[in-house]
Amino acid sequence: MTEHDTYDVVIIGGGPAGLTAAQYAARSDLKTVVVDKSPAASAIAFAERIENYPGLKEPISGRELIEILREQALGFGAEYVEAQVIGVKLEGEIKEVYTIDRTFRGRSVIIATGAMGRKPTIKGEKDFLGKGVSYCAICDAAFFRGKTVSVIGNTEEAVKESEVLSRFAEKVYLISPTEKLKVAEDSVAVEGNVEVLRGYIVEEIEGDEVVEKIHLKRVSDEGDEYLPVDGVFVYLHGSRPIVDFLNFAVDLSDEECVITNRLMETNIPGVFAAGDVTCVEVRQAVIAAANGCVAALSAEKFIHGRKRRKYDWAKSK
Ligand SMILES: Cc1cc2nc3c(=O)[nH]c(=O)nc-3n(C[C@H](O)[C@H](O)[C@H](O)COP(=O)(O)OP(=O)(O)OC[C@H]3O[C@@H](n4cnc5c(N)ncnc54)[C@H](O)[C@@H]3O)c2cc1C
């Protein structure tokens, strides 16, 4: 690993906070990378219609807004890598951000993973975590080669993860709590070994040492069914800050949001946070973007050891 491979800023998360931070960081000539699990997993991607983001002449979908923000960041030279961060090492001068197949090294890190997380709510989910229950198909699919797995969720993320698993598992059940998936039906080009079960709630994940079966309830008539599976991949969303990959490396509040000051600094020098993952009062795209801007300017100040923030790089060029 050379000095050349080290980024000035590694941004975790590619929602409005992370992408705005990327735009400001890259525009200030910082070597910047955004490591993002999936654009489909950003909270804004669930919004069909955005009309309150400043500057919009017409309402657009959340996906379109994300696309614009990403193009803007890439236009200033930021890199974008689609990968899930599974761990970090934040102490020291050079910080490390880990995905399943790569380590990103950075002089600073901006945490911008949003608040679509949830506590394990399905009976057995917590008990079988790592014993058949997983939240990361890319990380764990290979353990289920030739086996039967279920994916719980109805979003684009759940469909994508089913596709990943279908390359390893013999059979994949995509279990949707709703009759319709939250994606265009014609985009659900799942492989032959993926079967979509619509309108089912998973009541319990059962087994002895490891996962053996799931207990399903049909939403329409509450009928019970049991499905033998070796693995359960959960892609349901909630409204809790996504901080599991941090393993308490930065200070969190009792509500498990990342604590920052108004400069978006965490308790660790060179580590900043922005958007819904922080203890922000109002969860809106404009606030997340504004936080991202402040975090990037604070990272720039940190890296160059400036006393003050610099705002406009265009003028000095
Ligand atoms: C249905 C809905 C409608 C909404 N409508 C509006 C609206 O009309 N106007 C408005 O202003 N706001 C709206 N919001 C709120 C807005 O979407 C959020 O405030 C905003 O998206 C927060 O931005 P963020 O960047 O902090 O987080 P997010 O947009 O949630 O982005 C977080 C990113 O982090 C990534 N990520 C998560 N975990 C990891 C990991 N381990 N590794 C790598 N990447 C990871 C995700 O893939 C995602 O791309 C709405 C929210 C929802 C749910």
Average pLDDT over residues 16-23: 98
For residues 20 and 38, give the distance between their C-alpha atoms in angstroms, rounded to a whole number. Answer: 16
Q: Cα of 288 to ligand 1 centre, how many Å?
A: 8
Is the residue at 197 inside a domain? yes
Is the residue at 28 inside a domain? yes
What are the structure tokens assigned to 258, written together? 């990342």
Higher-confidence position of 5 and 167: 167
Is the residue at 124 inside a domain? no
Is there a contact between 133 and 157 (Cβ–Cβ < 8 Å)? no
Q: Measured from the CA of 13, which atom of ligand 1 is nearest?
A: 34
Q: Which of 50, 85, 103, 113 to mutate to test the pocket of ligand 1 (most atoms within 8 A of CB)?
A: 113
Q: Measured from the CA of 18, which atom of ligand 1 is nearest?
A: 25
Is the residue at 47 inside a domain? yes
For residues 55 and 67, give the distance between their C-alpha atoms in angstroms, rounded to a whole number. Answer: 15
> Does one domain contain both 138 and 113?
no
Q: Measured from the CA of 283, which atom of ligand 1 is nearest?
A: 19
> Does one domain contain both 150 and 85?
no
Rounded to the nearest integer, the mean pLDDT of the chain is: 93
Neighbours of 172 (CB within 10 A): 30
- Residue 273: beta bridge partners? 111
Question: Is the pLDDT score of 69 beyond 80?
Answer: yes
Is the residue at 205 inside a domain? yes
> Does one domain contain both 40 and 111?
yes
Torsion angle, alpha carbons of 7, 11, 14, 17, to 10: -130
Last residue of a domain, one of 234, 262, 280: 234
User: Which CATH number goes with the domain that contains 222?
Assistant: 3.50.50.60
Q: Cα of 267 to ligand 1 centre, how many Å?
A: 23
What are the structure tokens assigned to 48, written together? 């069909």
For residues 193 and 168, give the distance between their C-alpha atoms in angstroms, rounded to a whole number. Answer: 10
For residues 53 and 65, give the distance between their C-alpha atoms in angstroms, rounded to a whole number. Answer: 9
Q: What percent of the chain has pLDDT over 90?
A: 87
**What SS3 state is found at 140?**
helix
Q: Cα of 16 to ligand 1 centre, how many Å?
A: 7
Q: Cα of 221 to ligand 1 centre, how many Å?
A: 34
For residues 45 and 162, give the distance between their C-alpha atoms in angstroms, rounded to a whole number. Answer: 19
- pLDDT for 117 equals 94
Question: Is the pLDDT score of 3 beyond 90?
Answer: no
Average pLDDT over residues 225-233: 97
Q: What is the number of domains present in the chain? A: 2
> Does one domain contain both 202 and 219?
yes
Question: Is the pLDDT score of 317 beyond 50?
Answer: no
Question: Is the pLDDT score of 267 beyond 70?
Answer: yes
What would the pLDDT profile of 141-177 be if each residue is shown by its tens digit? 999 999 999 999 999 889 999 999 999 999 999 999 9
Q: How confident is the model at residue 2 (pLDDT cuts 50, 70, 90)?
A: low
Q: Measured from the CA of 50, which atom of ligand 1 is nearest?
A: 8
> Does one domain contain both 14 and 155?
no
Around ligand 1, the residues with Cβ closer than 6 Å are 12-18, 35-39, 41-44, 46-47, 50, 52-53, 84-85, 112-114, 116, 242, 245, 275-277, 283-286, 288
What are the structure tokens assigned to 271, written together? 């580590």
Sort strands 95-98 and 87-89 into parallel, antiparallel or unpaired: antiparallel
Question: Is the pLDDT score of 188 beyond 70?
Answer: no
Q: How confident is the model at residue 253 (pLDDT cuts 50, 70, 90)?
A: very high
> Beta-strand (E) ranges in the chain?
7-12, 32-36, 79-82, 87-89, 95-98, 103-111, 133-134, 148-152, 171-176, 194-198, 200-207, 211-218, 224-228, 231-234, 271-273
Q: Cα of 115 to ligand 1 centre, how many Å?
A: 7
> Does one domain contain both 257 and 229?
no
Question: Is the pLDDT score of 15 beyond 80?
Answer: yes
Last residue of a domain, one of 234, 255, 274: 234
Q: How far apart are the first and last CA of the chain?
A: 31
Question: Is the pLDDT score of 92 beyond 50?
Answer: yes
Q: Measured from the CA of 38, which atom of ligand 1 is nearest?
A: 47
Q: Cα of 90 to ligand 1 centre, how many Å?
A: 23
Q: Cα of 107 to ligand 1 centre, how many Å?
A: 25
Last residue of a domain, one of 187, 204, 234: 234
Q: Exposure of 190 by Cβ count < 10 A (0-12 exposed, 13-18 middle, 19+ buried)?
A: middle
Q: Cα of 106 to ligand 1 centre, how many Å?
A: 23
Average pLDDT over residues 82-109: 97
What would the pLDDT profile of 119-151 be if each residue is shown by its tens digit? 999 999 999 999 999 999 989 999 999 999 999
Query: DSSP of 15-63, one letter per residue?
Result: SHHHHHHHHHHHHTT--EEEEES-GGGSGGGG-S-B--STT-SS-B-HH
Q: Measured from the CA of 14, which atom of ligand 1 is nearest?
A: 49
Based on DSSP, count helices (H) and strands (E) in the chain, helices before strands: 5, 15
> Does one domain contain both 110 and 255?
yes
> Does one domain contain both 246 and 100?
yes
Q: Exposure of 49 by Cβ count < 10 A (0-12 exposed, 13-18 middle, 19+ buried)?
A: exposed
Q: How confident is the model at residue 192 (pLDDT cuts 50, 70, 90)?
A: confident
> Does one domain contain both 186 and 208?
yes
- pLDDT for 222 equals 83
The range of the structural domain enclosing residue 83 comes to 3-117+239-316
> Does one domain contain both 245 and 106?
yes
> Does one domain contain both 275 and 303?
yes
Is the residue at 127 inside a domain? no
> Does one domain contain both 205 and 247?
no
Is the residue at 122 inside a domain? no
- pLDDT for 194 equals 92
Average pLDDT over residues 202-218: 97
Is the residue at 125 inside a domain? no
Average pLDDT over residues 7-29: 98
Is there a contact between 270 and 88 (Cβ–Cβ < 8 Å)? no
